[in-house]
Amino acid sequence: MALSCSGIHSKNSSPNLGGQALVVETSESNSSSEESNLDPSLRAEIPESIREYLPLIKKYSKIYGFDWRLIIAVIQQESSFRHDAVSPKGAYGLLQIMPETGEELVLTVSHIYDFRTPEQNIIAGIHYLWTQFNRFYTKGMDSVECLKLALAAYNAGPGRVLDAQQLALYLGEDPNKWESIKMTLPLLSAEYYTLHKYIWDSGRPRSGYFRNYRETLNYVEKIMQNYERYKKSIK
């Protein structure tokens, strides 16, 4: 689920379309012919209630530099395509926006004025994922590797990924590689407190101990698997 964080863009901010490519593989299909381009085997997985939002998803995915099929995969993982989904922690909608995150986006992003309608929830979620991508992107970094870090941050909060990166650096691993973060996220749990004492002055990760790392690892892997499947099935 999307968690509130600092570093959100200003009210008049917009994606830097002249900057890095976020996800380089995109589909150029015409939104008016979605039904004919949708593999029959996926019709049951992508219900009509979501297909009606495909033009909106395509529009904002293009604005933010994402492949729209990636966003479909995120929606599937976040809410199982239910626009009224509410998590036990209060995350809401297709892209499971936390109330504090949604309220911050309303205050800081000019084209987001709500996060509870399906349309605005989609826009808010795409914007938030874009924010996480830009948080972790460095010049020359592989965009797919960065995307995986951004997805982990979307699920667990950026602080968890930043702590995992710091652990990776300490262990001599590349902090910009998902394989490194996969290895270090579990090391943020309390059982590795002796290791933490060598890295953080407080003796514990900056964002605290992390117990739900398995959820985050599964979250990223499932989205990437479904994204690859959608790329092959939806043109």
- The model's pLDDT over 92-120, given as tens digits with 9 standing for 90+, comes to 999 999 999 999 999 999 999 999 999 99
Q: How far apart are CA 146 and CA 168, in angstroms?
A: 15
**Predicted pLDDT at 144:** 97
pLDDT for residue 232: 87
Cα angle 211, 202, 217 (rounded to 5 degrees) comes to 25
Q: How confident is the model at residue 51 (pLDDT cuts 50, 70, 90)?
A: confident
Nearest alpha-carbon partner for 57 in 73, 70, 68, 67: 68
pLDDT of residue 46 exceeding 80, the answer is no
Is residue 78 annotated as part of the catalytic site, yes or no? Answer: yes
* pLDDT of 15: 67
Which residue do the tokens 């948080």 mark? 135
Residue tagged active-site, from 34, 35, 45, 78? 78
In whole angstroms, give the CA distance from residue 202 to residue 5: 21
Provide the greatest CA pair distance for the chain. 58
Query: What secondary structure does DSSP assign to 176-190, as a single string?
Result: TSHHHHHHHGGGGSG
pLDDT on residue 48: 81
Q: If you average pLDDT over residues 1-8, what whole number do you get?
A: 38
CA distances from 148 to 129, 140, 229 (A): 11, 16, 16
> What local confidence, expressed as pLDDT, does residue 201 receive?
97
What span, in angstroms and rounded, lies between the C-alpha atoms of 104 and 112?
Answer: 10
Residue 27 predicted with pLDDT over 60: no
pLDDT per position as a tens digit, 192-228:
999 999 999 999 999 999 999 999 999 999 999 999 9
pLDDT of residue 233 exceeding 90, the answer is no
